[in-house]
Amino acid sequence: MLDLLYNYPGWQVGTVIVIVPMILVCLMLKLFDKVIPHESRLAHNEFTANIISVIGINYAVLIAFVAVAVWGSFDKASAVANTEADVIGNMYHDAPGLGHAAAVELRMHLKDYVDTVVTQEWPEMAQGHSPSAGWRPLDDIQDMLARYHAQSNTESVYLTEILKNLNQVYDARRGRLSASEAGVEPVVWAIVLLGTCLTIGFTFLFGMPSLRMHMVMTGGFTAAAMLVLVLIIALDWPFRGEVQVQPSMFMRTQATMHRLDLRPMP
């Protein structure tokens, strides 16, 4: 199901999610009007309006809560990826403080990590997989720093800072991988869809002399509800689909690395 939603252009998926329910709802309303004519429903419009207002408020709170939660998760995934890339850039900038030989080796591993994230891990996350290739260059950095012996107080200060940054990279990476695997729970989706069907279904109980006008109003309400669901789907998995967190922050880090490479190391 997720592959169907995220492996096709977003406008096509969104159009289907909005248009198909509108058509189905209008057809069901037409059939419902034949079974229970509007004359028998007209007398209960006031009571129906009171009931649907309560249901509508509950549904609005539910759908708003889910939408805000998904939006927050998307922003958090973007922030943690930005932090990961920024800290990598800081490590690359501080590398010369360890001396020429250690700096060359450290920068090589950092380049390898960024290239791996951009070329291998991001496409894997876009397909819904949990990548693991990036752990190797990080482990190489950890091993290299564990073997390193500072020759001066200055190098000790840089080593401490770089190790601190490395721990931040590990934390940010775990956060990014966790965000790539976390979506709205199935039970929440079940409740949202059930609430959507219930709310739309209650609009059938209104008695309106004009069936055409009733279909227009109910179809419009259905479209509005489906648009919110499209938004939730688009943001649910931050690294999948057309609306996804892009690796632009890592690309900027690559550009920074290239710029620093042009400067001679001390």
Total domains, the chain: 1
C-beta of residue 179 within 8 angstroms of C-beta of residue 70 = no
Q: Helix or strand or coil: residue 265? A: coil
Give pLDDT tens digits for 111-152. Answer: 999 999 999 999 999 988 889 999 999 999 999 999 988 888
* Residue 68 placed within a domain: yes
Tokens of 54: 């309560």
CA–CA distance, 197 with 148 (Å, rounded to integer)? 63
Positive or negative, the CA dihedral 55, 57, 63, 66 is negative
At residue 266, the pLDDT reads 67
Residue ranges of the chain whose pLDDT lies below 50: none
* Residue 250 placed within a domain: yes
At residue 5, the pLDDT reads 74
C-beta of residue 13 within 8 angstroms of C-beta of residue 229 = no
* Residue 266 placed within a domain: no
Q: Give buried/exposed letters for 241-252 (b at 16+ CB in 10 A, else e).
A: bebbbebebbee
Look up the domain containing 151 and give its range. Answer: 2-261
CA–CA distance, 95 with 33 (Å, rounded to integer)? 74
At residue 177, the pLDDT reads 93
Closest to 163 in 3D by CA, of 200, 138, 193: 138
At residue 7, the pLDDT reads 76
Give pLDDT tens digits for 250-260. Answer: 999 999 999 99
Residue 176 DSSP symbol: H
Tokens of 172: 């940010």
Q: What is the 3-state secondary structure (H, E, C) of 79-146?
A: HHHHHHHHHHHHHHHHHHHHCHHHHHHHHHHHHHHHHHHHHHHHHHHHCCCCCCCCHHHHHHHHHHHH
* Residue 125 placed within a domain: yes
C-beta of residue 170 within 8 angstroms of C-beta of residue 113 = no
C-beta of residue 91 within 8 angstroms of C-beta of residue 162 = yes
Sole residue written with tokens 């010369």: 96
* Residue 48 placed within a domain: yes
CA–CA distance, 264 with 128 (Å, rounded to integer)? 41
| pTM, two decimal places | 0.84
At residue 2, the pLDDT reads 64
* Residue 246 placed within a domain: yes
